């Protein structure tokens, strides 16, 4: 979700053993300079993973996929583009607070390093992941740069 020009998407496409890495974005250059579907496709070609990548135009608050379509969902630096609080809540269901509300008992949250300090350490983002497999399965129906399509 919010795959942009595909930096994370193409990296993961190289790592998954089978299936496809699916990038979802609205392709707005206001969100990221040069953010276009063609730019993402060119980057997948340059990384030699174009055959392992599907690019989909869509909104992270109303993703055009059936439930249980993916094995893994990932998002990096995209949620801030949703200014509506209800839309943002809908889009971040897989994050730690929401995971606990869904019944996760072992959620690991950790700060991300300097590579994600796009505004400086005072705005550094964090990562959250459930260890409980059943909750992980629930989180798959949330948004992310969606990877490992079944």
For every residue of the chain, DSSP letters joined together read: ---TT-HHHHHHHHH-SSSEEEEEE---TTTSTT--HHHHHHHHHHTT-GGGEEEEE--TTS-SS-TT-EEEEE-SS-GGG--SHHHHHHHTTTSHHHHHHTT-S-EEEEE--GGG-SS-GGG--EEEEE--HHHHHHHTTS-SEEEEE-
Most confident of 51-55, 59-63, 69-73: 51-55
Pairwise pLDDT comparison (31 vs 48), residue with the higher score: 48
Pairwise pLDDT comparison (134 vs 117), residue with the higher score: 117
Architecture of domain 7-149: 3-Layer(aba) Sandwich (3.40)
- Over the chain, what is the mean pLDDT? 75
Mean pLDDT for the stretch of residues 128-134: 58
pLDDT bin (cut points 50, 70, 90) of residue 117 is: low
pLDDT bin (cut points 50, 70, 90) of residue 124 is: low
Instruction: State yes or no: pLDDT of 16 exceeds 60.
Output: yes
The domain spans of the chain are 7-149
Mean pLDDT for the stretch of residues 1-18: 88
**pTM for the full model?**
0.66
């Amino acid at each position: 979700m919010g795959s942009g020009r595909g930096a994370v998407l193409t990296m993961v496409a190289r790592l998954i053993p089978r299936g496809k890495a699916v990038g979802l974005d609205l392709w707005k250059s206001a969100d990221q300079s040069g953010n276009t579907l063609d730019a993402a496709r060119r980057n997948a070609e340059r990384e030699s993973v174009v055959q392992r990548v599907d690019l989909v135009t869509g909104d992270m608050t109303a993703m055009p996929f059936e439930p249980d379509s993916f094995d893994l969902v990932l998002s990096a630096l995209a949620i801030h583009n949703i200014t509506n609080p209800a839309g943002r809540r809908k889009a971040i269901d897989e994050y730690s607070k929401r995971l606990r509300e869904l019944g996760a008992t072992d959620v690991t949250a950790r700060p991300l390093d300097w590579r994600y300090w796009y505004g400086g350490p005072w705005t550094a983002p964090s990562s959250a992941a459930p260890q409980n497999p059943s909750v992980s399965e629930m989180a798959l129906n949330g948004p992310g740069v969606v990877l490992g399509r079944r």
